[in-house]
């Protein structure tokens, strides 16, 4: 089956390992927590696929695996359309633990492969063990690509020196208009090496309050300020974004960001209202 993101004209990002994905996808944090919302969550994900947002991001951590089950329902009959991302928790990221965690995720997702498998954040297990497990899973066909999440520049630099570290395809980190610290060093580092930056919480976990600048740009383009904020995260190459939307209304609103092209004037106004830090800051995770 063809990828709807191509038909919808959504730009795509390519990692150094050859993975390709649309720059706008679907997050699933907290999906599956409330069974009463399950039908709406599945409908939202399926609409996202219809609109070309064929990257779905989930994790074994989210709702204790229930999020992966929601994704499984959304993918029924459509698995080949989806670029599927999930994550192993650090406490499970030993060599054998990673293999077992992947099998559990595959069972919940009701699929035979994961397109991108991430270490959710650094933990007590040596990264060498996790990467060795990732390599084994890739050889067996259970995953196609692997990466990390919540790694800063020093972490990524150290990762490059570990066997398998140069096969890391992506780094998923928090990024939105009021959290721009990664622009100083991490984004340039990743871009120069073909590591795709995957921005989570582009709307600050729903806490983003549109500034006057976001509202002004939104009026100019006849979209919502939230669509502008999402489009802003993917204004440059090498970054994809995964806003969560639990309703079809929110999915439609987010989808407008896929084809929104911010002008230099737009970007300048947003930069003035939401400046990059003037010095390096710790990696933001909330």
Structural domains of the chain, ranges and CATH numbers in brackets: 4-273 (3.20.20.100)
Strand-pair category, 239-241 with 20-22: unpaired
Decide if 155 contacts 161 (C-beta within 8 A).
no
- The pTM of the full predicted model, rounded to 2 decimals, is 0.96
Would you say residue 110 has pLDDT above 90? yes
H-run or E-run covering 250: helix 248-255
- pLDDT digit string (tens) for 2-34? 677 665 789 999 999 999 999 999 999 999 999
pLDDT score of 2: 60
CA-nearest of 68, 21, 85, 73 to 43 is 73
Category of 143 on φ-ψ map: left (φ > 0), alpha (ψ -120 to 50) or beta: beta
Task: Please identify every residue annotated as catalytic.
Answer: 62
Note the maximum CA span of the chain.
53
- pLDDT digit string (tens) for 195-254? 999 999 999 998 999 999 999 999 999 999 999 999 999 999 999 999 998 899 999 999
- pLDDT digit string (tens) for 139-161? 999 999 999 999 999 999 999 99
pLDDT score of 6: 65
Angstrom distances, CA of residue 97 to CA of 176, 210, 248: 33, 42, 36
Q: How confident is the model at residue 35 (pLDDT cuts 50, 70, 90)?
A: very high
Would you say residue 138 has pLDDT above 60? yes
Question: Alpha helix locations (H) across 75-170?
Answer: 95-109, 127-140, 153-160
Would you say residue 68 has pLDDT above 80? yes
What average pLDDT does the structure give for the chain? 96
Length of the chain: 286
């Amino acid at each position: 089956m063809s990828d709807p993101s191509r038909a919808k004209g959504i730009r795509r990002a390519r990692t150094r390992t050859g993975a390709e994905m649309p720059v706008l996808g679907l997050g699933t944090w907290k999906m599956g927590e409330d069974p009463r919302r399950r039908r709406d969550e599945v409908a939202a994900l399926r609409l996202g696929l219809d609109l070309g947002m064929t990257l779905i991001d989930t994790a074994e951590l989210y709702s204790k695996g229930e999020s992966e089950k929601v994704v499984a329902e959304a993918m029924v009959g459509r698995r080949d359309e989806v670029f599927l991302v999930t994550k192993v928790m650090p406490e499970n990221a030993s060599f054998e633990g990673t293999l077992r965690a992947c099998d559990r995720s595959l069972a919940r997702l009701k699929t035979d492969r994961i397109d991108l498998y991430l270490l959710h954040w650094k933990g007590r297990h040596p990264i060498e063990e996790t990467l060795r497990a990732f390599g084994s899973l890739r050889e067996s066909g259970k995953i196609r690509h692997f990466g990390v999440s919540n790694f800063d520049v020093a972490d990524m630099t150290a990762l490059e020196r570990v066997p398998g570290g140069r096969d890391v395809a992506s780094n998923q980190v928090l990024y939105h208009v009021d959290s721009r610290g990664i622009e100083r060093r991490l984004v340039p580092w990743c871009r120069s090496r073909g590591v795709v930056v995957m921005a989570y919480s582009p709307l600050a976990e729903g806490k983003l309050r549109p500034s006057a600048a976001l509202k002004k740009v939104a009026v100019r383009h006849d979209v919502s300020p939230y669509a502008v904020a999402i489009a802003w995260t993917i204004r440059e190459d090498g970054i994809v974004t995964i806003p969560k939307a639990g309703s079809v209304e929110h999915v439609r609103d987010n989808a407008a960001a896929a084809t929104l092209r911010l002008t230099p004037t737009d970007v300048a106004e947003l930069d003035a209202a939401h400046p990059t830090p003037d010095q390096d800051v710790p990696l933001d995770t909330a």
